[in-house]
Structure 1
Amino acid sequence: MQERSPETDVIAFRAAEQLLAARDPRGAIKLLDPVIAAHPESRAARLLRARAYFAAAQLRSAEQEFLHIIEREPDNAYAHFALARTYERANRPDRAQRHFRLAAALDPKPEYLRAAKFDSDE
């Protein structure tokens, strides 16, 4: 087995980005697992793996990864938005709405504001 180095982890991370872009989220997850094992606090790697889990419809794993990121970076609007999309896809609208609103409050991007539905009673 090849010894891991920071360079091989960067290569694996970049390859995982490419696999996710090419719609191979499971391949991306396989590349990211050892990167995260070597660097458990890498938010970039965890966020990429969370996105891959979401794309692979592994919603519970995606939820856990997004929550891990939010626990360490509570002002990460994207992580809140992506977690909300995960809850929405898992048919958990109350939880989704809370995180859509947090994302919009942290970063008033039009996409986040639309999802937050501040002007409705939902």
Structure 2
Amino acid sequence: MTTEGTVEAFRRAEELLAQRRPLEALRVLEPVLDVDADKPSVQLLLGRAYYFSAQLRRAERAFLRVLEFDPSDHYARLVLGRTLQRLGRLHEARAQLRLAAMMHPSPAYQEALGEINAHIATRS
């Protein structure tokens, strides 16, 4: 696949994900992974597609891979936290969401952290 074709496929996968069509996005991403699997942006998009198609363990692996490349990626930590939350691993989720909220103190991140804290409190 040419560089131009890779970029086009990546953008198409982003569009499909925005349209809530994660399985189609995964199919479109396949040739991109053959060429650029080590790019954090590709792994992040892959993880989001897995997340939205409820392939949570695969999503976790993709987000962890992004964090191997860049441990300071606050968004990867946020979506990893959300993934762990859906997997029922609340304390691990809280740790990731805390880091994300400290790195990027936006209302959405604070809300996600508050939500996980409430889930943990109700289970105690």
TM-score, with normalisation over the residues of structure 2? 0.89
- Report the alpha carbon displacement of residue 24 of structure 1 after superposing the two structures with TM: 1.0
Q: CA RMSD in A?
A: 1.6
Q: Which amino acid aligns with 2:17?
A: L
- Please give the residue correspondences for 1:24-103 in structure 2 after superposition, counting only pairs within 5 Å: 24-103=21-100
Q: Which amino acid aligns with 2:55?
A: Q
Instruction: Write the deviation string for residues 37-70 of structure 1: whole angstroms up to 9, x where unpaired.
Output: 2112211111111100000000000000000001
Q: How many residues were matched structurally?
A: 118
1:15 aligned residue: 12
Tell me the distance in 2 between the aligned counterparts of 1:114 and 1:56: 23
- Report the alpha carbon displacement of residue 74 of structure 1 after superposing the two structures with TM: 0.5
Tell me the distance in 2 between the aligned counterparts of 1:41 and 1:19: 21
TM-score, with normalisation over the residues of structure 1? 0.90
Identity of aligned residues (%): 40
Unaligned runs of 5+ in 2: none
Tell me the distance in 1 between the aligned counterparts of 2:33 and 2:53: 18
- Report the alpha carbon displacement of residue 114 of structure 1 after superposing the two structures with TM: 2.4
Unaligned runs of 5+ in 1: none
Q: Which amino acid aligns with 2:97?
A: F
